[in-house]
């Protein structure tokens, strides 16, 4: 599936929920089955800055696709990371660079985009895009 | 006077608002307090009726503004029982105040001198001193904590020596609520000829400090912690010290005569008040003190202690609840974790229920390191919170834990 298809799928899933509690419960569930980063990659250089909880992100190029793995001390952060990984992992660097972020608002997580929030969502998206830029050059 | 919390809540417009569809439950008072209409109205009144620059104008509204600004200084002087109003410097807050003193001591200390800083301090009472020590070579020694979140008083006594020149302790810990025995710390430090700066930011909304009785050398606080506006605070300093210290910021107001060859400085307090001050902030600060004194600090303290005990007992019933900071004397702050859950997760879900708490390290990383934790959830109560809010908080916390487990 390309990025837009994944985003639409996620938006549809979240639209089934009536209130914030169900959305958060689903996100927490998604976090439990995230592509877990290898413990050997849980190093300081893989930490996303700007997070109140520790959030690690690792990127690897496999064939022409970027594979992301992550982990966090906080469950909700892990859930948000899981949503982002579903959208951006296993995609080409070029597609990641060109992707927009409208889906975040559509699934009711817009508040997490505010820079005052301590969850590093913005930082994580930035880091994903940086990786894509770096791997795109090669 | 009977403490009618519901009547008091009517003084605070923000308490009527909703968050995410739920009534706001504001338990982040240690971060900043809410403001009563009296304070808010005084700000609107200033800008509507007599806004003017102060001290030098000859016209009428400049005089009115100057009187109001200096009246505020007098209110602060009276509130803290300070002998001379020239010893009250109006600053932009505690952080500014501490930096001002650190700057003042840069050339007064050298590499043979030691300063004692408590492990409980907020970063604003650590970093400026580290920066000062980089310049003058003085050494920092740390007064350690105990497992109850109190200062290890015996260690403090052992650290004091002829080399000790300054001692820094907060009156109340923002991370844990511990009330420190500052009167005895000050008198012991003085036996060794050391000066003491007490960070009163967290204390001032709960405790009315008598600075003459304490005989403290420096005391700082921020108005926004005690129902006043942001951007204004005060530094009390004994004249003898303030006169030894060079100015912090140069500019207008703090001068006596200016030529390009030489400039002389103004007397206290203006020497340390460069530029146009936060005039409206000072007025709001004074109003906030009036408001609190009208309620009475004894009533405030006794009600907040009731809330603290009520909340602590209820929270202890939640499985996995662990509280940090079990000092014998505490203000109404509860810093805690639940099991292995990260404080960020709990705070995020509580926010969805309309409850405002603070999560993380609370600008007190040494405290967090001491307990070996990444952070805590901090609920801090004020005299306008209620037991019903605490009941709701506990129920919501249980729901949050269920969602996260």
Q: What are phi and psi of B402, to 5 degrees?
A: -65, -40
Domain final residue pick, B278, B293, B308: B293
Domain final residue pick, B265, B293, B321: B293
| pLDDT at residue A119 is higher than 60 | no
CB-CB contact of B128 with B98 (8 Å): yes
Residues of B with CB under 8 A from a CB of A: 20, 341-345, 348-349, 352, 359-360, 374-375, 403-404
Contacts of A75 in chain B (CB under 8 A): 341-342, 345, 404
CATH number for A114: 3.90.1010.10
Q: Which residue of A has its CA nearest to B350?
A: A21
Query: Do B172 and B275 belong together in one domain?
Result: yes
CA angle A21, A26, A27 (to 5 degrees): 100
pLDDT confidence band for B241 (50 / 70 / 90): very high
Domain that holds residue B99: 40-293
Q: How far is A44 from chain B (nearest CA, A)?
A: 15
The token pair that represents B131 in the structure block: 């920066």
Residues of A with CB under 8 A from a CB of B: 20-21, 24-25, 28, 52-54, 73-77, 118-119
Query: Do B308 and B372 belong together in one domain?
Result: yes
Query: Do B26 and B45 belong together in one domain?
Result: no
pLDDT digits (tens, 9 = 90+) for B351-403: 999 999 999 999 999 999 999 999 999 999 999 999 999 999 999 999 999 99
How many domains does chain B fold into?
2
Verify whether the Cβ–Cβ distance B349 to A24 is below 8 Å.
yes
Across B282-294, average pLDDT = 98
Distances (CA, A) of B95 to B27, B121, B134, B209: 23, 12, 18, 19
Query: Do B46 and B126 belong together in one domain?
Result: yes
List Cβ neighbours of A55 (8 Å cut-off, separation of 6 or more): A47, A48, A70, A71, A72, A73, A74, A77, A81, A120, A124
Domain that holds residue A50: 3-137
| pLDDT at residue A116 is higher than 80 | no
Contacts of A76 in chain B (CB under 8 A): 344-345, 348-349, 404
DSSP secondary structure letter of residue B59:
S
Whether residue B35 is contained in a domain is answered as no
- Residue B28, helix vs strand vs coil: strand
Whether residue B59 is contained in a domain is answered as yes
Query: Do B285 and B301 belong together in one domain?
Result: no
Query: Do B81 and B229 belong together in one domain?
Result: yes
Whether residue B202 is contained in a domain is answered as yes
pLDDT given for residue B57 in this prediction? 80
Domain final residue pick, B293, B312, B341: B293
d(CA B2, CA B296): 11
| pLDDT at residue A50 is higher than 70 | yes
Query: Do B267 and B307 belong together in one domain?
Result: no
pLDDT confidence band for B36 (50 / 70 / 90): very high
pLDDT confidence band for A8 (50 / 70 / 90): very high
Q: How far is B281 from chain A (nearest CA, A)?
A: 25
State the alpha helices, DSSP H only, in B137-265. Answer: 153-159, 182-191, 211-214, 239-244
Query: Do B134 and B160 belong together in one domain?
Result: yes
pLDDT given for residue B1 in this prediction? 47
Verify whether the Cβ–Cβ distance A28 to B374 is below 8 Å.
no
Query: Do B102 and B158 belong together in one domain?
Result: yes
Assign 3-class secondary structure to B345-376.
Answer: HHHHHHHHCCEECEEECCCCHHHHHHHCCCCE
Verify whether the Cβ–Cβ distance A119 to B344 is below 8 Å.
yes
Verify whether the Cβ–Cβ distance A73 to B374 is below 8 Å.
yes
- Mean residue pLDDT of chain B comes to 95
Among B31, B337, B339, B342, which would you mutate to test the A interface (most chain A Cβ atoms within 10 Å of its Cβ)? B342
pLDDT given for residue B55 in this prediction? 85
How many domains does chain A fold into?
1
CB-CB contact of B4 with B379 (8 Å): no
Query: Do B75 and B140 belong together in one domain?
Result: yes
Q: How far is A1 from chain B (nearest CA, A)?
A: 31
CATH number for B273: 3.40.640.10
Verify whether the Cβ–Cβ distance A119 to B348 is below 8 Å.
yes
Q: What are phi and psi of B334, to 5 degrees?
A: -125, 115
Contacts of B352 in chain A (CB under 8 A): 20-21, 24
Share of chain B above pLDDT 90, in %: 93
Query: Do B114 and B190 belong together in one domain?
Result: yes
CATH number for B19: 3.90.1150.10
- Residue B199, helix vs strand vs coil: strand
């Amino acid at each position: 599936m390309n990025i837009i298809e994944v985003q639409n799928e996620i938006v549809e899933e979240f639209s089934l929920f009536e209130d914030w509690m169900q959305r958060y419960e689903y996100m927490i569930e998604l976090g439990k089955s995230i592509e877990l980063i290898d413990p050997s990659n849980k190093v300081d250089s893989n930490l996303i800055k700007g997070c109140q909880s520790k959030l690690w992100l690792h990127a690897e190029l496999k064939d022409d696709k970027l594979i992301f793995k992550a982990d966090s001390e906080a469950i909700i952060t892990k859930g948000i990371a899981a949503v982002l990984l579903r959208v951006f992992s296993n995609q080409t660097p070029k597609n990641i660079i060109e992707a927009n972020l409208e889906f975040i608002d559509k699934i009711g997580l817009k508040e997490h985009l505010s820079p005052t929030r301590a969850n590093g969502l913005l930082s994580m998206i930035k880091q994903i895009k940086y990786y894509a830029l770096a791997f795109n050059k090669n | 006077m009977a403490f009618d919390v519901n009547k008091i809540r009517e003084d605070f417009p923000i308490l009527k608002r909703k968050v995410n569809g739920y009534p706001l439950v504001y338990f982040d008072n240690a971060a900043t307090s809410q403001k009563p209409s009296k304070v808010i109205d005084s700000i609107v009144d200033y800008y509507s009726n007599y806004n003017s620059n102060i001290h030098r104008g000859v016209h009428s509204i400049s005089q009115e503004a100057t009187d109001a600004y200096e009246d505020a200084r007098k209110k602060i002087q009276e509130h803290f029982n300070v002998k001379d109003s020239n010893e009250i410097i109006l600053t932009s807050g505690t952080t500014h105040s501490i930096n001002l003193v650190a700057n003042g001591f840069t050339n007064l200390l050298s590499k043979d001198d030691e300063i004692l800083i408590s492990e409980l301090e907020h970063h604003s009472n650590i970093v400026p001193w580290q920066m000062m020590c980089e310049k003058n070579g003085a050494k920092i020694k740390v007064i350690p904590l105990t497992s109850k979140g109190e200062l290890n008083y015996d260690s403090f006594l052992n650290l004091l020596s002829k080399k000790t020149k300054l001692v820094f302790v907060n009156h109340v810990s923002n991370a844990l609520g511990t009330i420190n025995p500052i009167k005895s710390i000050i008198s012991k430090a003085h036996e060794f000829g050391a000066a003491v700066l007490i960070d009163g930011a967290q204390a001032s909304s709960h405790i009315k400090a008598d600075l003459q009785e304490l005989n403290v050398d420096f005391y700082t606080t921020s108005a926004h912690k005690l129902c006043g506006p942001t951007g204004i605070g005060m530094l009390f300093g004994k004249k003898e010290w303030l006169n030894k210290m060079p100015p912090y910021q140069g500019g207008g107001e703090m001068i006596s005569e200016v030529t390009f060859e030489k400039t002389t400085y103004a007397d206290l307090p203006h020497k340390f008040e460069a530029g146009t001050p936060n005039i409206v902030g000072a007025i709001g600060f004074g109003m906030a003190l009036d408001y609190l004194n009208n309620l009475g600090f004894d009533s405030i303290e006794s009600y907040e202690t009731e809330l603290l005990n009520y909340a602590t007992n209820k929270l202890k019933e939640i499985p996995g609840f662990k509280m940090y900071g079990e000092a014998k004397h505490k203000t109404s702050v509860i810093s805690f974790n639940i099991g292995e859950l990260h404080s960020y997760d709990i705070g995020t879900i509580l926010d969805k229920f309309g409850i405002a708490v603070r999560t993380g390290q609370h600008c007190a990383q040494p405290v967090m390191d001491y307990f070996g934790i990444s952070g805590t959830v901090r609920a801090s109560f004020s005299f306008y919170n209620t037991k019903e809010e605490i009941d709701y908080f506990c129920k919501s916390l249980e729901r949050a834990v269920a969602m996260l487990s």
